[in-house]
Chain A
Amino acid sequence: MAKVFLPYQLKKTTNNKDFIEVKGKTLNEVIINLEKMYPGTKEHLVQEGRIKPGLAAICGFSATRKGLLQELEEDTEVHFLPSIAGG
């Protein structure tokens, strides 16, 4: 089960829980299952089959570079945060 930390804006959808446990061996599976648990969340995270522009999916410690194909180990934390630019 991945521990999914949703953006604050979506927390109301999940009764303000800090995180929710969602089944899935990949990020894609987790988001599909998340949508089943809390309909309407997926559209805020995914666009045209990819992580939404401007959003980064943090799987563990840092932003995944594999997108929805990212494999997830048991208890991996998944966060959705603004993608970070640098100078």
Chain B
Amino acid sequence: MVNVSDSKNYKVIGTNPIRHDGYDKVTGRAIYGADVKLPGLIWASIVRSPNAHAVIKNVDTSEAEKIDGVFAVMTGKDLPQQEDQFIDHGEGTENVAWSSENIMATQKVLYKGHAVAAVAAIDRYVADYAASKVKVEYDLLDAVTNVEDATKEGAPILLDSLVGDHLRKKVKNTNVASITRHEFGDPDKAFANAENVVERTFTLQMVHQGYIEPHNATAHWDEEDRIKVWTSTQGAFPVRTSTAAILKLDVSRVKVTPLEIGGGFGGKIPVYLEPVVSILSRKSGRPVKAVMERSSVFQASGPAPGGTITVKMGTDKDANIVAAESSIKLEAGGFPGSAVGAAVQCIFAAYDIPNTRIDGFDIVVNKPKSAAYRAPGSPQAAFATETVSDELARIHGMDPIDFRLQNASKEGTRRADGVVFPKVGNVEVLEAAKKSDHWNSDLGTPAKGRVRGRGVASGYWFNVGLKSTVNLSVNSDGSVVLVEGSSDIGGTRTSISMQAAEILGIEVENFRPSVGDTETAGYADVTGGSRTTYATGFAAVKAAENLIEVLKDRCAIIWSLDKNDIDFEDGTFFASKDPELKFTFKELASNLDNTGGPAASSGSVDLESAGGAFGTHIVDVDVDTETGKTDIARYTVLQDVGTAIYPAYVRGQMAGGAVQGIGWALNEEYYMKDDGTQANVSYLDYRMPTALDLPNIETIIVEVPNPGHPFGVRGVGEVPICPPVGAIGNALHDALGKRFYDSPMKPGRILNVLGKISD
């Protein structure tokens, strides 16, 4: 671990206690969405389009309705009609009309797997059988599944109602939902005067987050027109907001209980099933459960967008980057809203460049509506920038880390989108990378028939703040019940409790944390944007500070003193003028009777950024030049995390993000057939790396504390997926002497670049 701040003498922060949810999860007692059982529960099955693009002529549910055991059938017409209406989730907006149409199509299907009807029946098998009896008539349309085809003259138009915003110009009959630009300085003049200019175009394919647990939801629409929803989600409150908006209900009519979550990575923020099972429950009078099968997870949830990115960068004779330009075209999927907005803000974030121009294109294609995936848009952008940066470093004969250090963004650097960086740790991470054992070790000798190369790349993510609430109450045995509303996708119950424990001066094992439902916990925005340990942890700090004030009041009552004469330090309350009068936290907890009732407190925040963060990855690859297969020989992740509250969790996030990025670089892609449908809809064919494919991922935590948090926390979970694709591309170049501009860099592509096979 590299600490670049004044060392703080924390007692709880920086330790690795047994996680509060650990035993339940390793013993299988933890309750996930698919485990939900309720009296009278029936199952839903979704009827999905086999076509990538078609007009719905007719949906005939009559045969399904006659089947024994069927309780209800619905189509998109059972959902309330919507007009364009935007709801704010804090870190992004949602057009309810498009969300509703994405959940169940009424006029057109825009991708294979698009839902068109649903059935609820006595069990899953009857539901599936009945769903197979729903007859849908389609008028087939040509499909476009990439940004190039979608923007060609005469391309089939997906959304007749879409009016594109092209640099303020309103454009109809287009698949380009928006064009944005950021421009600073005079890039044209700077390029004209540059000593070296490199311009490359990259392609990336759509990839899935690959969470193991499929989407699921159970709902019961009761006699009082209130809906109870149980689901695995990254945010119970956003699910409540979206479900209520789609069903045109007040939020108070929807109660969402979040279950344990088997992975999300951004993909479990949108709703897909909740409104459907709610309608089926209203129609049947029964609670209704739906669980997606794996093929539907691939085809009908929200993957990360593919697209094309062009990057041009120029340097002067001293290897200073003087200009950069980019055009980023990302696939939104069937409805507008790709991650292009973030991609344009991240693409040159690691560098201090005085002249920049970045164009972003949000393009609808006949694929599932894309969603967030750890640092949405930034990994795609980093692949392009970090490859070109590596080329420029080699042109200047420089060590690639030295080139990055010379041009690194730092506090005071103006980002390409204009915003000035506060305190960030880009330089500190690069310096740690340069000193690392990995960077200073010999490459070694690969096995016969293989060649080895080393690559490095950096990446950036903003990290967000937003709203969180934490409630604390004290038990008579000195334990503390902590209730918060942030879904725990990375062990945050413990990392949040640790921050309150540090303030209260007690051990975190004394905490009983839980994630409440939307009528138990105070409001919390989505668990995403790497915000939860930062923002909900901040709320826990506030709640703990408020609890100390409550407990000082109680000491004042017990000791008949003025509250101002009560002090608190290191877990002990004492009278400042009488050292004999003191209580440990536990002693005081057992003496609260007759002092005014149970002691409780609350803390809530609405925060700005969690402190932007940088990571740098170093990778050694071994390539079999006969088969094109690439193995990871060694991999090191370095990242500025601010302050590591629970270092083992932090290392887990760093390694996990890197592994997902390795899959993105080497194997993963939505492999599309000519008819616009995806060929690889199971984990047999959609090849994600497993523990057997990889070495131990080495992690080096760099701590440049965030001045905007009491303990210096920055977001952690998203940065580590940004550098891998670029780092592996650069390592492949080091190994093979060939550049890769298309991802994934799979065996066939490697053999193609080596000239051993043709396209």
Chain A residues near B (Cβ < 8 Å): 5, 7-11, 18, 44, 53-54, 58, 61-65, 77, 79, 81-87
A61-B374 contact, Cβ under 8 Å, with A82-B341, A84-B341, A87-B265: no
A82→B328 CA distance, assembly (Å): 15
Question: A86 is contacted by which of B93, B209, B531, B608 (Cβ under 8 Å)?
Answer: B531
Which A residues are in CB contact (< 8 Å) with B530? 86
- The answer to whether B640 has its CB under 8 Å from any CB of chain A is no
Contact check, A5 vs B528: say whether CB atoms are below 8 A apart: no
Query: Which residue of the partner chain, among A5, A53, A63, A65, contacts B86 with CB atoms under 8 Å?
Result: A53
Whether B675 is near chain A, meaning CB under 8 Å from some CB there, is no
User: What are 20 inter-chain pairs, A to B, with CB distance below 8 A?
Assistant: A44-B168, A54-B92, A54-B341, A61-B420, A61-B608, A61-B609, A62-B462, A63-B608, A77-B418, A77-B419, A81-B417, A81-B419, A82-B342, A82-B345, A83-B92, A84-B341, A86-B376, A86-B461, A86-B530, A87-B266
CA distance A77 to B607 in the complex (A): 18
The residue of chain A having its C-beta at the shortest distance from the C-beta of B607 within the complex is A65
**Alpha-carbon distance A44/B344, docked complex (angstroms):** 20
A1 to B266, CA, bound (A): 39
Q: Give complex CA distance A51, B590 in Å.
A: 50
Specify which chain B residues have a CB less than 8 angstroms from the CB of A79 in the assembled complex: 417-419
Convert B513-532 into 0s and 1s, putting 1 for each residue whose CB lies closer than 8 angstroms to a CB of A.
00000000000000011110
CA distance A80 to B92 in the complex (A): 14
Say yes or no: B529 contacts A86, CB within 8 Å. yes
* B91 interface residue per 8 A CB criterion: yes
Check B465–A87 contact: CB distance below 8 A: no
For B461, the chain A residues whose CB sits under 8 A away are 86
State whether B266 touches A86 (Cβ < 8 A): yes
Judge whether B182 is part of the interface by a CB distance below 8 angstroms.
yes
Query: Contact at A87–B609, with CB atoms within 8 Å?
Result: no
- A8, A64, A81, A87: the one within 8 Å of B529 (CB): A87
| Chain B residues near A8 (CB-CB < 8 A) | 167, 180-183
Find residues 368-396 in chain B having any chain A CB closer than 8 Å to their own CB: 372-376
A13 to B181: give the CA distance in the assembly, Å.
15
B342 to chain A, nearest CB (A): 5
What is the 8 Å Cβ interface bit string for chain B, positions 343-366, against chain A (1 contact, 0 not)?
Answer: 011000000000000000000000
User: In B40-97, which residues have CB < 8 Å from any A CB?
Assistant: 86, 88, 91-93
* Chain B 227-263 interface mask (CB, 8 Å, partner A; 1/0): 0000000000000000000000000000000000000
Question: Bound complex: CA of A84 vs CA of B526, how far in Å?
Answer: 13
Q: Which residues from chain A contact B91 at a C-beta distance below 8 Å?
A: 83-86
Instruction: Verify B339–A85 contact, CB threshold 8 A.
Output: yes
Q: Which 7 pairs of residues, A with B, have the shortest CB-CB distance?
A: A87-B266, A86-B529, A82-B341, A62-B609, A53-B86, A85-B92, A87-B372
Residues from 260 to 276 in B contacting A, C-beta threshold 8 Å: 264-267, 269
Residue of B nearest to A55 (CB): B93
* Bound CA span A46–B466, Å: 20
Q: Is the CB of A84 within 8 A of B86?
A: no
Q: Is B606 located at the chain interface by the 8 A CB criterion? A: yes
> Which residue among A63, A84, A86 has the maximum number of chain B CB atoms within 10 Å of its CB?
A86
* Nearest B residue (CB) for A47: B86
B186 to chain A, nearest CB (A): 11
List B residues 179-223 near A (Cβ within 8 Å): 180-184, 209
Which A residues are in CB contact (< 8 Å) with B265? 87
Tell whether, in the assembled complex, residue B606 and residue A85 are in contact, meaning their CB atoms are under 8 Å apart. Answer: no
Asked whether A85 lies within 8 Å of B608 as measured between CB atoms, the reply is no
- The interface residues of chain A lying within 8 Å CB-to-CB of B342 are 82, 84-85
C-alpha spacing A8/B341, complex, angstroms: 14
In the assembly, what is the distance between CA of A81 and CA of B376, in Å? 16
Is the pair A65, B181 in contact by a Cβ cutoff of 8 Å? no
Nearest-CB residue, chain A, relative to B605: A65
Chain B contacts of A77 at CB under 8 A? 418-420
Within 8 Å of chain A (Cβ to Cβ): is B718? yes
Min CB gap B416→A, angstroms:
11
Check if A84 sits within 8 Å of B528, measured CB to CB. Answer: no
Contact among B88, B167, B422 with A61 in the assembled complex (CB-CB below 8 Å)? B422
Minimum C-beta distance from A16 to chain B (A): 9
